[in-house]
Amino acid sequence: AARMDQHDFLLREVGHRLADRLQNIKRRFPRTLDLGCHRGELGEILVHRDDIKCIVNCDPSFGMVALSPGPRLVADEDALPFQNSCFDLVTSLLSLHWVNDLPGALIQVARCLKSDGLFLAAMFGGETLVELRRSLLEAEVKTRGRVYPRVSPFVDIRDLGDLLQRADFTMPVVDIDQITVTYPNTLALMEELRGMGESNAIHHRPRHFTARSTLQAVADFYPESTSAPDGRISALFQIVYLTAWKKHTGQPRPLSPGSAKTRLADALGAIEQTTGEISRPVLRHK
* In the predicted structure, residue 272 carries a pLDDT above the cut 60: no
Crossing angle of the two packed helices 186-196 and 212-221, in degrees rounded to 10: 110
In a domain, 285, yes or no: no
In a domain, 177, yes or no: yes
Q: Which CATH number goes with the domain that contains 138?
A: 3.40.50.150
Mean pLDDT of 23-37: 95
What are the pLDDT digits (tens) for 183-216? 998 888 888 888 887 766 434 445 455 666 677 7
Percent of the chain with pLDDT over 90: 49
Residues near 51 by beta carbon (within 8 Å), at least 6 away in sequence: 22, 27, 28, 29
What are the pLDDT digits (tens) for 122-181? 999 988 988 888 888 777 766 666 555 555 567 778 889 899 999 999 999 999 999 999
pLDDT value for 202: 39
In a domain, 273, yes or no: no
In a domain, 260, yes or no: no
In a domain, 134, yes or no: yes
In a domain, 282, yes or no: no
**Side-chain half-sphere CA neighbours of 18 within 13 A:** 29
Specify the number of domains making up the chain: 1
Number of alpha helices (DSSP H) and beta strands (DSSP E) in the chain: 9, 7
pLDDT value for 121: 98
Task: Give the range of the structural domain holding residue 115, as residue numbers without chain letter.
Answer: 4-248
Task: Give the predicted TM-score (pTM) of the model.
Answer: 0.78
Q: Which residue has the higher pLDDT, 32 or 248?
A: 32
**Side-chain half-sphere CA neighbours of 27 within 13 A:** 14
Least confident of 50-54, 86-90, 120-124, 196-200: 196-200
Distances (CA, A) of 19 to 49, 51, 91, 241, 243: 10, 12, 9, 11, 12
What are the pLDDT digits (tens) for 213-258? 677 777 777 876 566 667 788 899 999 999 999 998 776 665 555 6
Q: Which residue has the higher pLDDT, 96 or 209?
A: 96
10 Å CB burial of residue 100 (0-12, 13-18, 19+) is: exposed
In a domain, 274, yes or no: no
In a domain, 237, yes or no: yes
Distances (CA, A) of 97 to 6, 128, 144, 154, 214: 22, 11, 28, 6, 26
Band (98; pLDDT cuts 50, 70, 90): confident
